[in-house]
Amino acid sequence: MNTTEIEAQNVEAQRVEEIAHPLDKFSLRGKHELLVTQKLAQVHVMQGVALLGESTVLYAEHNTGKTLITFALLIEAIKSGRIRGDKVYYINVDDSFNGAIDKLGFAQKYGFHYLARDQEGFSVERLRVAMLEMIETGTANGTVLVLDTLKKFVDLMDKTKSSKFADLVRSFVSKGGTVIALAHTNKNRGADGRPQYGGTSDIISDFDCAHIMSATDAEGQQGVKLVEFRNEKSRGPVEKYVYCTYPGDPKVPYVEKLAAVRLVPEEELAEMKHKARMARDAEAIEIIKKCISDGVSQKMELLKEVQAQTDLSRRAVGIVLDTYAGTDKTRNFWSVRVGARGAKIYSLLTPWIAPVDPDDY
């Protein structure tokens, strides 16, 4: 290659370098210090469930109490000072007129915004326009949107529409916004008997966090509902499981239910679960106690006899035997020792008394 050709190559190389790279205008290099000032603290908008600056979806069956609990946990966050009420916009397009008025009263009391369909000219389409405006102007930062319920904002069975909506939410969150969406579970439960998310997988795939809620009666607390949040996906530090209780009687006024919603401490939950298990195992426990009292105390004999008297498998009977074996009379019913040839021998902690049959009187 001669000198002229080398010079020509250098000139061309210099010309290319002077042309702005198409991606340069999008680069964040040099913007770190500025963006740090806009960074959001890891604040729980809903204690243990949803974080500021993330998109969270809550799936629940009808009458689980998702709106009630969401209201209660938002109010707790506002009262504790973790979030500002004037930055929270609860958008309910799935309620009756009277229901909307009642919830508006709570919103006004605690200083957060409440939007309802066809009130003050609001519509789902106007929300999309407002979100795009907040993304463009930077007012998304710190804003908390609660969408109740999600199916009113997007067709969850349409993959294309769900994906497009999730993209809008992602853009909003990337500008410092927060989205909490309430949705319904699939009408069919999973193989494990638990509720499963409804709609296509796009929402749960594209959101930062997802929980599935399920409700049961709280053992030992008449008329109280126990609601479990089971985390299915997370990016930030939320809990794998969160539990709440509230009055389940439909006759209890909404204002009383809202005031009564509370998070269940872990130690209390363990006791509630133990009582719930004892209630489920009550029949097997009584049969085992009677068998031991009648002299059937060796494990293999017990397994065989109890299985014959119940519809439980041998494995299930063994689990009941192990669960309630110990020396604590408040939690256990029998003790166990190792006898000849390694055989496990069971003894009752207190004498068995046959249940009284009312028909005997």
Going from N- to C-terminal start, the domains of the chain cover 34-264, 281-360
Local confidence pLDDT in tens for the 361 residues of the chain? 666 666 666 666 666 566 777 778 778 888 777 766 656 678 999 999 999 999 999 999 999 999 999 999 999 999 999 999 999 999 999 888 898 999 999 999 999 999 999 999 999 999 999 999 999 999 999 999 999 999 999 999 999 999 999 999 999 999 999 999 999 998 888 777 788 888 888 899 999 999 999 988 766 677 889 999 999 999 999 999 999 999 999 999 999 999 999 999 888 888 877 887 888 899 999 999 999 999 999 999 999 999 999 989 999 999 999 999 999 998 999 999 998 888 999 999 998 787 666 565 5
Q: Can you state the angle between helices 159-174 and 124-137, rounded to 10 degrees?
A: 40
Q: Name residues whose C-beta falls within 8 Å of residue 48's C-beta, 6 or more positions apart in sequence.
A: 229, 238, 239, 242, 263
Q: What is the DSSP string of 159-202?
A: HHHHHHHHHHHHHHHHTT-EEEEEEEBPSS--TTS---B-S-SH
Tell which residue, 200, 146, 148, 141, has the closest CA to residue 171.
141
Q: CA-to-CA distance for 52 and 42, rounded, in angstroms?
A: 6
Q: How many CA atoms lie within 13 A of 232 on its CB side?
A: 20
DSSP 254-268: HHHHHHH-EEPPHHH
- Token pair 């407002």 is found at 130
> Residue 17: what pLDDT?
64
Q: Which CATH number fits domain 34-264: 3.20.20.70, 3.60.15.10, 3.40.47.10, 3.40.50.300?
A: 3.40.50.300
For position 14, what pLDDT does the model report?
A: 67
Task: Determine the Cα–Cα distance for residues 260 and 247; give it in Å rounded to an integer.
Answer: 7
Residue 256 corresponds to which amino acid? E
How is the beta sheet containing 241-247 ordered, strand by strand? 113-116, 88-92, 144-148, 178-184, 55-60, 209-217, 224-233, 241-247, 262-263
What is the rounded CA–CA span in Å between residue 321 and residue 336?
9
In the chain, helix, strand, coil percent, each to 5? 45, 20, 35
Q: Which amino acid is at 138?
A: G
Q: What is the pLDDT of residue 5?
A: 66
pLDDT score of 220: 61
Residue 357 confidence (pLDDT): 60
How far apart CA 244 and CA 77 sit, in angstroms, is 15
Query: Are residues 49 and 56 in contact, defined by beta-carbon separation less than 8 angstroms?
Result: yes
**pLDDT at position 20:** 73
pLDDT at 48: 96
* Pair 301, 307: CB distance under 8 Å: no
Q: Given this model, what pLDDT does residue 6 score?
A: 64
Residue-level pLDDT at 130: 97
H-helix or E-strand spanning residue 18: helix 3-18
What does the pLDDT read at residue 353?
Answer: 80
CB 316 within 8 A of CB 269: no
Determine the number of helices (DSSP H) and then strands (DSSP E) in the chain.
12, 13
Torsion of CA 289, 291, 292, 297, to 10 degrees: -140
Asked if 58 and 238 count as a contact pair (C-beta separation under 8 A), the reply is: no
Largest CA distance in the chain: 120
